[in-house]
């Protein structure tokens, strides 16, 4: 009787219970990560030498006006109370108002984020679409001229300042050749003419059937997307080459060649399949970096996106906009990690077996 009881106690919990526990643990981790990110940003904002009250009232305001705005912002409350009030408003979907635009931070982010999303998505497609094949090619040509050329090209693309590429791109392809569209997302003649549906100008112009606006938007986004894509491609190709070299030195590759498989089957059917999970992480992190780190390229090209909005908010000392932007960055990276983890289970059977 006692042995039967011990077996029952040691029996694994049902699948639904394990799934619920895993989901609860993941949600708790995500919430704690975002909470810690917000708390850290809040504390940094309070010790910054910028005065948000002066940003609103100006340096010539009298003392009474300054104190009135100071109290309206809740800066006279203890730090713990200020953070509590911010979290309370956040739970109600209120991120506060931005000093830069005078509008709610939520509406500002809804306006600027699609511009960066469109730019970064096109850039990562170009970066991964070129970086992965170049990395595989360099690995198969190790020590030869092709390998050296790819490594040199990747080193130049990764180490050269991105703002320099942006200025040279504008000088050559816009000022001299006239191929690129120049500053902004679309030509002046088409600004405000495309109805906003998704916020993605290329998609919205196609939905509206405005081919002229689509061509203008495509001319404007191609150059900054290619420059960002070059930076991502340099990183992805280097990592792909490293992963492939590690696989090509394994014994199973020698066994596959001994069996008479073609070099294409060995490279793409065996070695490349075993680096897919690693590549997912690299591409996902590169995409997240493009979404929140395209500040310089947006500044050079006057791109009205998330990076430019965050930079302007930091310079102004607008903590509502900064904390809202940091929250978006945290959500982006958490979402990318969750999606990557889900894709792991699709491409790697070992992770499915561990569930």
The better pLDDT of the pair 268, 96 is held by 268
Verify that 229 and 307 share a domain, yes or no.
Answer: yes
Over range 148-167, report the average pLDDT.
86
Least confident of 110-114, 147-151, 283-287, 337-341: 337-341
Over range 266-274, report the average pLDDT.
87
Verify that 193 and 73 share a domain, yes or no.
Answer: no
Verify that 77 and 32 share a domain, yes or no.
Answer: no
Verify that 60 and 128 share a domain, yes or no.
Answer: no
Does 325 map to a domain?
A: yes
Banded pLDDT at 10 (limits 50, 70, 90): low
pLDDT digit string (tens) for 108-147?
Answer: 998 899 999 999 999 999 999 999 999 999 999 988 998 8
Verify that 209 and 313 share a domain, yes or no.
Answer: yes
Q: What percent of the chain has pLDDT over 70?
A: 87
- pLDDT of 305 over the 70 cut: yes
Cα dist. 71→68, 74, 99 in Å? 5, 5, 16
Q: What is the pLDDT of residue 223?
A: 92
Least confident of 105-114, 150-159, 161-170, 292-301: 292-301
What distance in Å separates the CA atoms of residue 201 and residue 117, rounded to the nearest whole number?
11
Verify that 43 and 67 share a domain, yes or no.
Answer: no
Verify that 84 and 182 share a domain, yes or no.
Answer: no
Does 191 map to a domain?
A: yes
**Integer distance in angstroms from the first to the last C-alpha of the chain?**
31
Pure H helices in the chain = 2-10, 15-47, 52-57, 63-72, 79-91, 105-140, 145-159, 162-169, 201-207, 211-248, 251-258, 263-264, 276-293, 295-300, 306-316, 319-347, 349-353
Verify that 39 and 77 share a domain, yes or no.
Answer: no
Verify that 293 and 197 share a domain, yes or no.
Answer: yes
pLDDT digit string (tens) for 40-92?
Answer: 877 776 766 666 777 677 677 778 887 887 787 777 778 888 888 888 888 88
Does 177 map to a domain?
A: yes
In the block, tokens 């931005």 appear at 98
Does 101 map to a domain?
A: no
Verify that 87 and 174 share a domain, yes or no.
Answer: no
Identity of the highest mean pLDDT range in 37-51, 92-106, 132-146, 169-183: 132-146
The model carries a pTM of 0.81
- pLDDT of 199 over the 80 cut: yes
Over range 223-229, report the average pLDDT.
92
Verify that 270 and 287 share a domain, yes or no.
Answer: yes
Q: Which of 37, 65, 94 is the last residue of a domain?
A: 94
Domain that holds residue 39: 17-49
Of 88, 110, 93, whose CA–CA distance to 101 is shortest? 110
Does 1 map to a domain?
A: no
- pLDDT of 354 over the 60 cut: no
Q: What percent of the chain has pLDDT over 90?
A: 18
Mean of all residue pLDDT scores within the chain: 82
The total number of structural domains that make up the chain? 3
Over range 228-238, report the average pLDDT.
91
Verify that 230 and 285 share a domain, yes or no.
Answer: yes
Over range 87-109, report the average pLDDT.
83
Does 32 map to a domain?
A: yes
Over range 92-111, report the average pLDDT.
84
The better pLDDT of the pair 121, 348 is held by 121
For residue 78, give both structure tokens. 């203890």
Q: Which of 94, 119, 153 is the last residue of a domain?
A: 94
Phi, psi of 161 (to 5 degrees): -55, 135
Q: What is the pLDDT of residue 127?
A: 92
Q: For the chain, how many residues are written?
A: 355
């Amino acid at each position: 009787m006692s042995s039967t009881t011990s077996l029952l106690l040691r029996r694994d919990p049902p699948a639904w219970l394990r799934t619920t526990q895993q989901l609860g643990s993941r949600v708790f981790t995500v919430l704690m990560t975002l909470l810690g990110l917000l708390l850290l940003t809040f504390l940094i904002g309070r010790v910054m030498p910028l005065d948000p009250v002066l940003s609103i009232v100006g340096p010539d305001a009298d003392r009474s006006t300054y104190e009135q705005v100071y109290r309206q912002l809740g800066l006279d409350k203890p730090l713990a109370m200020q953070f509590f009030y911010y979290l309370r408003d956040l739970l109600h979907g209120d991120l506060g108002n931005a000093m830069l635009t005078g509008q709610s931070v939520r509406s500002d982010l809804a306006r600027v984020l699609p511009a960066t999303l469109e730019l970064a998505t096109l850039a990562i497609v170009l970066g991964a679409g070129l970086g992965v094949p170049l990395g595989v090619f360099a690995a198969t040509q190790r020590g030869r001229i092709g390998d050296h050329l790819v490594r040199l090209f990747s080193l130049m693309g990764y180490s050269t300042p991105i703002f320099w590429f942006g200025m040279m791109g504008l000088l050559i392809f816009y000022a001299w050749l006239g191929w690129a569209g120049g500053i902004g997302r679309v030509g002046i003649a088409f600004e405000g003419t495309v109805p906003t549906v998704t916020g993605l100008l290329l998609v919205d112009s196609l939905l509206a059937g405005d081919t002229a606006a689509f061509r203008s938007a495509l001319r404007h986004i191609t150059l900054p997307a290619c420059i960002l894509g070059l930076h991502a491609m340099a990183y992805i190709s280097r990592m792909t080459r490293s992963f492939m070299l590690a696989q090509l030195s394994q014994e199973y590759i020698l066994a596959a060649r001994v069996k008479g498989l073609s070099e294409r089957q060995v490279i793409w059917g065996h070695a490349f399949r075993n680096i897919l999970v690693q590549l997912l992480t690299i591409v996902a992190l590169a995409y997240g970096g493009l979404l929140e780190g395209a500040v310089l390229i947006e500044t050079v090209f006057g791109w009205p996106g998330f990076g430019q909005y965050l930079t302007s908010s930091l310079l102004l000392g607008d903590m509502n906009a900064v904390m809202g932007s940091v929250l978006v960055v945290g959500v982006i990276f958490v979402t990318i990690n969750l999606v990557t983890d889900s894709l792991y289970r699709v491409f790697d059977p070992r992770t499915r077996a561990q569930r």
